[in-house]
Structure 1
Amino acid sequence: MAKNLYVGNLSYFTTEDALKEVFSEVGEVASVSVITDRETGRSRGFGFVEMANDDDAQKAIDELNGREIDQRAIRVSEARPRRSGPGGPGGPGGDRRSGGDRRSGGERGGGSRRW
């Protein structure tokens, strides 16, 4: 069964192809994802590598944790399961812009004002 690994402390210049090449040295890589900022497209300095099986994943942790890639010592560990539940914009503690409609005028008047 495939196992997902967290890879941290990545250089902003490390590509998915470069990660795949390094992790392929220790086993079969199922997928690679470098996480990027939605607005800038720039790497956020971490990513995930899915290894084809548990043995390859453990070998990657043992052999690649602390290895230098693009002049950065990467951190490799088993990825934690994704949290489910509320959150994100508009959820509890989320984006405050998701509140009421400020343009409706309401009790304070000004309903004819255009934004």
Structure 2
Amino acid sequence: MSTRLFVGNLSYQTTEEDLRQLFAGVANVASVTVVTERDSGRSKGFAFVEMASPEDAQKAIGELNGQSLHDRTIRVDLARPREDRGGGGGGGGFRGGRGGGDRPREPRRERY
């Protein structure tokens, strides 16, 4: 069973291949994903590395947490499960995402 690790404080120049080589020097790597901005494709400065076993994951944490990569001290820890983000809110903007302007208007009340 594989174990997913969080790798933080990465340089924006760090690639998946850089991480694969670093972690493969310690234990068996199943996959590497550098998290990027949706629009620009630029790294967000963290990644997930999936190790082949829980033992490999613990070995990687012990040997690589606090090590330097591209002049940055990286943080390596077990990844937390994603939390349920819920259904999200309605759309913003005009009328708060509650439909268009086809609704009949109520007459305005006069001010006192």
Q: TM-score, normalised by structure 2?
A: 0.83
Describe how 1:1-115 pairs up with structure 2 within 5 A. Answer: 1-87=1-87, 91-92=88-89, 95-97=91-93, 99-102=97-100, 104-107=101-104
Q: Which residue of 2 aligns with 1:111?
A: none
Q: Secondary structure at the match of 1:4?
A: strand
Greater Rg, structure 1 or structure 2?
2
Give the alignment's Cα RMSD to 1 decimal: 1.7
Letter in 2 for 1:34: V
- Structure 2 CA distance for aligned equivalents of residues 38 and 81 of structure 1: 21
CA apart distance, 1:33: 0.3
CA apart distance, 1:96: 1.9
- Structure 1 runs of 4+ aligned residues shifted over 4 Å read none
Letter in 1 for 2:99: D
Q: TM-score, normalised by structure 1?
A: 0.81
Q: Secondary structure at the match of 2:48?
A: strand
> Would you say how many aligned residue pairs link Structure 1 and Structure 2?
103
- Structure 2 CA distance for aligned equivalents of residues 7 and 95 of structure 1: 33
Q: Where does the alignment leave 5 or more consecutive residues of structure 2 unmatched?
A: 106-112
% identical equivalent positions:
52
- Structure 1 CA distance for aligned equivalents of residues 39 and 47 of structure 2: 17
CA apart distance, 1:105: 4.4
Q: Secondary structure at the match of 2:38?
A: coil
- Are the structure 2 counterparts of residues 52 and 84 from structure 1 closer, same or farther at C-alpha, using a change threshold of 3 Å? same
